[in-house]
Amino acid sequence: MKRGRVLAVLVGGVFCLAVMSLYRKLEQMQGEEPQRDWETPAGQDLSLLQQKIDRLEYLLSNNNRLVARLRDSLLHHKASRKQEGGGANSSSEHAHIPAEPLSGCQLAEEKEGGAGGVQLLDVYDLLTFDNKDGGVWKQGFDISYRGDEWDEQPLELVLVPHSHNDPGWLKTFDRYYEDQTRHILDNMLLHLGQDSRRKMIWAEISYFSKWWNDIDEQKRAAAKRLVEAGQLELVTGGWVMADEANAHYYALLDQLMEGHQWLQTHLGVEPSSGWAVDPFGHSPSMTYLLKGAGLSNMVIQRVHYAVKKHFAQQQTLEFLWRQSWDSSTRSDILCHMMPFYSYDVPHTCGPNPAVCCQFDFHRLPGGRVFCPWRIPPQPITEQNVKERALLLLDQYRQKSRLFRSSVLLVSLGDDFRFVESSEWDAQFNNYQKLFDYFDQHPELHIKARFGTLADYFQALHRRLSASGTSLPTVQGDFFTYADRDDHYWSGYFTSRPFYKRLDRTLEATLRATEILFSLALAEMRRFHGDGRLVADFPAREHFQRLVAGRRSLALFQHHDAVTGTARDPVVVDYGTRLFHSILNLRKVLQSSAHWLLLLDKSQYHHDQSKPFLQMDDVISAQDALPQKTPLTLSDEPRSLVVFNPTEQLRTSVISVVVDSPDARVVDAETGRPMAAQISAVWAEPSRASSESFQLSFVAELPPLSLVVYHVTKAPVGSTPRARYTVYRHGNALTVHSEHFLVSHPQGQEADAPLSLSNKHVQIWSSEKTGLLQKLRLHTGLVRQVQVQFLWYGTRTAANQDKSGAYLFLPGEEGGQLYSSSEPPLIRVSRGPVYSDITSCFRHFTHTLRLFHLDGHAGKSVQISNMVDIRSEVNRELVMRLVSDVANGNRFYSDLNGFQMQQRRTLEKLPLQANFYPMSSAAFLQDSSSRLSVLAAQSQAVASLRPGELELVLDRRLQQDDNRGLGQGVTDNKLTASLYHLLLEERRGGAQEVGGASVQHLSLLAHLTSLSLCHPPINMVAPGDGQMPKLRDFVPLRSSLPCDVHLLNLRTLEDAQEPGSPSQEVGLLLHRKGFDCSSAPDPRPTCTWNVHEEVNLDDVFSPLRFRSVRRSGLTLLRRHDQPQSSRQQQLRPMEISAFRVQID
Q: Could you list the residues that contact Zn ion (CB under 5 A)?
A: 166, 278
Rounded CA gap, 324 and 474, in Å? Answer: 9
DSSP 737-760: -SSS-EE---HHHHTSPEEEE-SS
| Residue 906, C-beta contacts closer than 8 angstroms, at least 6 positions apart | 124, 125, 889, 913, 914
Rounded CA gap, 310 and 326, in Å? Answer: 24
- From 816, 863, 859, select the one nearest 836 (Cα to Cα): 863
Rounded least distance, CB 108 to Zn ion, Å: 35
Annotation says 278 is catalytic = yes
Rounded CA gap, 378 and 611, in Å? Answer: 67
What DSSP designation does 558 have? B
Label the pairing between strands 627-628 and 617-618.
antiparallel
Rounded least distance, CB 263 to Zn ion, Å: 21
Beta bridge partners of 5: none
Contact 293, 256 (CB under 8 A): yes
Catalytic residue among 278, 344, 623, 954: 278
Rounded CA gap, 1051 and 1063, in Å? Answer: 7
Count Cα neighbours of 660 within 13 Å in the Cβ-side half-sphere: 18
Count Cα neighbours of 695 within 13 Å in the Cβ-side half-sphere: 33
Q: Which amino acid is at 586?
A: R
793 Rama sector, left if φ>0, alpha if ψ -120 to 50, beta otherwise:
beta
H-helix or E-strand containing 55? helix 45-84
- From 941, 938, 961, select the one nearest 874 (Cα to Cα): 961
Rounded CA gap, 481 and 916, in Å? Answer: 10
Q: Which amino acid is at 992?
A: E
236 Rama sector, left if φ>0, alpha if ψ -120 to 50, beta otherwise:
left
Please state the three-class secondary structure of 188-252 as a single string. Answer: HHHHHHHCCCCCEEECCHHHHHHHHHHCCHHHHHHHHHHHHCCCEEECCCCCCCECCCCCCHHHH
Residue whose CB is less far from Zn ion, 163 or 794: 163
| Residue 658, C-beta contacts closer than 8 angstroms, at least 6 positions apart | 630, 631, 633, 692, 693, 694, 695, 711
Please state the three-class secondary structure of 1068-1127 as a single string. Answer: EEEECCCCCCCCCCCCCCCCCCCCCEEEHHHHHCCCCEEEEEEECCCCCHHHCCCCCCCE
Between helix 249-266 and helix 497-528 the angle, nearest 10°, is 60
Residue whose CB is less far from Zn ion, 65 or 164: 164
DSSP 980-1035: EEEEEE--SSPPPS-SS------HHHHHHHHHHHS--EEEE---STTPPPB--B--
Residue whose CB is less far from Zn ion, 560 or 647: 560
Q: Which amino acid is at 367?
A: G
**Continuous H helices in 724-841:** 747-750
Contact 1033, 1027 (CB under 8 A): no
For the CA atoms of 44, 48, 54, 56, what is the dihedral angle to 10 degrees? Answer: -170
Rounded CA gap, 447 and 438, in Å? Answer: 7
Catalytic residues: 278
